[in-house]
A and B are shown apart, each in its own frame.
Chain A
Amino acid sequence: EAQVTQNPRYLITVTGKKLTVTCSQNMNHEYMSWYRQDPGLGLRQIYYSMNVEVTDKGDVPEGYKVSRKEKRNFPLILESPSPNQTSLYFCASSLSRLSEQYFGPGTRLTVT
């Protein structure tokens, strides 16, 4: 089944404790991105990657890191999480930048 998977689905952590949210797609898509979704603000892009080893900032990159060492994986790293990073995070992938984006199921992160 073609899909985007994210882990974990739910995470509660404390300020400053490094964490990684994994994202994997099995559709051989070149383009992957991370979004955060907050009430009243919609989906905002954090980082995106057009191919292996090619990443760039989206609209809200502060406090986040990404890497793209393999085509299928695009982890999101929070090196020192803060409470304002409490949010619902989505990973997405697409064949190209203008193609339909397929979203993962989301990761609900709470930073206390």
Chain B
Amino acid sequence: QKEVEQDPGPLSVPEGAIVSLNCTYSNSAFQYFMWYRQYSRKGPELLMYTYSSGNKEDGRFTAQVDKSSKYISLFIRDSQPSDSATYLCAVSNAGGTSYGKLTFGQGTILTVHP
């Protein structure tokens, strides 16, 4: 079983739609949760960074973590064509031999069409 599972999509939505991207993870030791965005032919860039359970909002983006069910989500409101990219979830823990090591999901390809 992979440590982080992410539906690869692809996901295609019309402009203005609400997008929901999801990941599940298996190790309850993970405490840091991130979403990276990767445009075509570019390196990933950090979009959201959360610690522990709860919601974090940044403009049109909301990251949600439910540690009890080991489930993390990214919501995009009023999606725009410029949001078209691959979205990668990543998890990390704060202790042990794998301290700080990022484990990525497979990535979800999102296309927002006008």
B59 in the interface (beta carbon within 8 A): no
Q: In the complex, which residues of chain B have a beta carbon less than 8 angstroms from the beta carbon of A44?
A: 104
Given A42-B6, A42-B107, A96 and B100 touching (CB < 8 A)? yes
B43's contact among A96, A98, A106, by CB below 8 Å, is which? A106
Given A42-B6, A58-B101, A98-B94, A103 and B44 touching (CB < 8 A)? yes
How many Å lie between the Cα of A104 and that of B42 in the bound state? 8
Which residues of A pack against B, CB within 8 Å?
4, 31, 40-45, 48, 58, 90, 92, 96-98, 100-106
B32 in the interface (beta carbon within 8 A): yes
How many Å lie between the Cα of A103 and that of B43 in the bound state? 5
B29 in the interface (beta carbon within 8 A): no
Q: In the complex, which residues of chain A have a beta carbon less than 8 angstroms from the beta carbon of B46?
A: 100-101
**CB nearest to A9 among chain B residues:** B41
How many Å lie between the Cα of A106 and that of B39 in the bound state? 12
- Looking at chain B's contact residues, the main secondary structure is loop
A-B contact count (CB 8 A): 49
B92 touches A90 (CB 8 A): no
> Smallest CB–CB gap between A10 and chain B, Å?
10
Q: In the complex, which residues of chain B have a beta carbon less than 8 angstroms from the beta carbon of A96?
A: 100
Q: In the complex, which residues of chain B have a beta carbon less than 8 angstroms from the beta carbon of A4?
A: 43
A98 touches B88 (CB 8 A): no
B100's contact among A41, A98, A105, by CB below 8 Å, is which? A98
B44 touches A90 (CB 8 A): yes
Q: In the complex, which residues of chain A have a beta carbon less than 8 angstroms from the beta carbon of B92?
A: 98
A40 touches B8 (CB 8 A): yes
A103's contact among B45, B49, B99, B105, by CB below 8 Å, is which? B45
